[in-house]
Amino acid sequence: MEPPAHQAALELLESVELLESVELPVQVLQVLLYQLFILRFFLHQITRIRPALLIIQLLFFRQLTPPMVLLLLKYQIHR
Query: Is 0.75 topped by the overall pTM?
Result: no
Look up the domain containing 63 and give its range.
4-78
pLDDT in tens, the chain (79 residues): 555 555 555 565 565 555 555 566 767 766 766 666 666 656 555 555 555 665 565 565 555 556 666 676 676 655 5
Per DSSP, the residues of 46-70 read --SHHHHHHHHHHHHTTTS-HHHHH
Dihedral of CA atoms 67, 72, 73, 77 in degrees, nearest 10, equals 140
Q: HEC states along 10-46?
A: HHHHHHHHHHHCCCCCHHHHHHHHHHHHHHHHHHHCC
Please give the pLDDT value at position 5.
54
Number of domains within the chain: 1
pLDDT at 50: 59
Tell me the C-alpha distance between 27 and 72, whole Å: 16
